[in-house]
Chains A and B, each alone.
Chain A
Amino acid sequence: MIEARGLARTFRTRAGDVEAVRGIDLDVAEGEIVGFLGPNGAGKTTTLRMLTTLIAPTAGTARVAGHDLLREPVEVRRRIGYVAQGGCTLPEARVGEELVDQGRLYGMAAAAAVAHGQELLAGLDLAGVWERLTKTLSGGQRRRLDIAMGLIHSPRLVFLDEPTSGLDPQARANLWKHVRSLRDARGATVFLTTHYLEEADALCDRILVIDHGEIVAAGAPEELKRRVSGDTVELTFGDDAAAATAALLLDGQVDGPLVRLQLPSAVEGLPGVFRALDEAELSPLGVEVHRPTLDDVFLSLTGHALRDEVPA
């Protein structure tokens, strides 16, 4: 569905040229859900905007949905759906109008656009909002409307840019369900960007990790997580002496009343830890388990922590 070779984009700014994307290769097969994971400013959105014909690459070639990105942009546009990061509907417009106009811009007949629009809304738990002004929708509802807008013409390939950013956890989990059904029920290929590891984990068959405009790792979520050193367990003790004894016993690092342990898996390792503490008659006041975060994955893949830069 996507075949990109050496795709690059340099922006000219007053401060000099900025290489937002530095010659990436990527392949997405039909029916895959692929996640593009990276911090803000890594080049995710720039890559997406190139693949959706919004900006021209400064180097490289790509075939998207069976057509050459540079030579046949209109054919590419016909076959893809794009859900941008910042929304796409006018606050003063009615939901139904936006859906129908969007469908008709793709050449659909008005009646077909109405029928498909209503079906999409029902599928996204948005039945009954047809006549509402889009500004009266909640954040989660508006995000689902954005997705409906991107699907109105039944594209085979859907690009989602940060689909759940700014949503509360409940709305996020709900949206994940809908993204999965894009593939499972509609057979669409999905390419999404995210800077949430748990999102990539929950949704994607494959993850591409991008940093500084380059793909630094690619693989299934489990595969990537195995590269991270495992879970961190923090035990809190009543006094520093108990902590020091425990640290010695468990081969952990001591920090005042805190003991920090690295375990390949907390679920498997913790019973043994508690048995050992019990035998030594030490009882921690608190236990905290830290699963690998995007920061950890990043740290282990790139050697530096996840930054928060201005998006390119």
Chain B
Amino acid sequence: MRTLRETDLIFRRAMRLSLRNPIWVILGLIQPILYLVMFGPLLENMTEVQGWPDGDAWSVFVPGLLVQLGIFGAAFVGFGLLHEMHAGVVERMRVTPASRLALLLGRVLRDVVVLFVQGLILIVCALLFGLDAPIGGLLVGLIVVALLGAAFSSASYAAALILKSEDALAPLANGLAVPLLLLSGILLPMSLAPGWLETISDINPLKHVVDGVRALFLDGSTSVVVWGIVTTLALVAAGLAFGTRVFERESG
């Protein structure tokens, strides 16, 4: 009960500060919208290629863009925490009796809400471009992406607390996010990949998340959807467990 109240307090504080300076929310949307406008149309003629999954270009491409938004939007939230650390805010909060989980979760919830709104805007833009998908699938897909964001934002906060420096966080976040994205079939589906690449990508949990969201958009196989959601929930649990452990640790 106390943790809930404290989470709500930290969430409101984080949200208030984000809304005061919404430029980052807007900047975070520019990249996926550029992909949508400048890369998406290239795919319209790709659906005839051997290996292309059953479905039109937009239903295959937009889920990838959403997952990309979820990961890149969340992987860099640690920079905001570093700013708070340098100002002494994190340490000040750690001397209060507030639950360490709340200090993390309040900030993660803010990121989830921001991602949800960004994802919604991205989907509306995609609908204008010709995306045609069931409304239920869109909604569940959006929730899955926001949850994925929760996993990555927890991990990003934990990494920021451990590394304590922007110079170390940037290469780590990029170095992990880029290969994970390439191996998840975000831009082009992995069904186009040669055997060895597809095998590697099967180990990447994000591939199953992307496949799950695609199946949601295409009204595809239920087992792929369930697998995608289960993978996402597992990532969220792992991310929060890791993040809370780091928040509970002494600040060194």
Contact = CB atoms under 8 A, between A and B. Distances in A.
- Count chain B CB atoms within 10 A of each CB in A52, A54, A90 and give the residue with the most: A90
Given A54-B250, A90-B84, A74 B89 contact: no
B98 interface: yes
Contacts of B92: 82, 84, 88, 102, 149
A49 B2 CA distance: 25
B56 interface: no
Contact of B87 (A53, A89, A97): A89
A90 B17 contact: yes
Contacts of B89: 88-90
A154 B9 CA distance: 20
Interface residues on B, range: 20 to 34
A89 B83 CA distance: 11
Contact of B13 (A82, A87, A97, A149): A97
A91 B33 CA distance: 31
B95 interface: yes
A77 interface: yes
B17 A54 contact: no
Contact of B9 (A91, A92, A101): A101
Interface string A37-74: 00000000000010011111000000000000000001
Interface string A123-153: 0000000000000000000000000010000
B198 interface: no
A243 interface: no
Interface string A70-105: 000010011010101011111111000100011011
B88 A84 contact: yes
B21 A54 contact: no
Q: Is the interface of B mostly helix, strand, loop or mixed?
A: helix
Contact of A90 (B2, B87, B97): B87
A217 to B, nearest CB: 29
B88 A82 contact: no
Contact of B91 (A54, A77, A97, A101): A54
A92 B97 contact: no
A107 B89 CA distance: 18
Contacts of A274: none
Interface residues of A, number: 28
Contact of A54 (B13, B83, B94, B98): B94
B250 A56 contact: yes
A288 to B, nearest CB: 40
A245 B6 CA distance: 76
B16 interface: yes
A124 B117 CA distance: 42
Nearest to B94: A54
B252 interface: yes
A105 B12 CA distance: 12
A93 B17 contact: yes
Contacts of B6: 105
A62 B83 CA distance: 33
B20 A92 contact: yes
Contacts of A55: 250-252
Nearest to A159: B95
Given A92-B17, A104-B9, A105-B6, A77 B88 contact: no
Contacts of B250: 54-56
A78 B97 CA distance: 6
Given A90-B17, A90-B89, A102 B252 contact: no
A92 B94 CA distance: 20
Given A105-B9, A105-B97, 9 more contacts: A53-B95, A54-B251, A84-B91, A88-B87, A88-B88, A105-B6, A105-B93, A106-B96, A107-B2
19 contacts: A54-B95, A54-B250, A55-B251, A77-B95, A77-B97, A80-B95, A82-B95, A84-B91, A88-B87, A88-B88, A90-B83, A90-B87, A92-B20, A92-B21, A93-B17, A102-B92, A105-B98, A106-B96, A106-B97
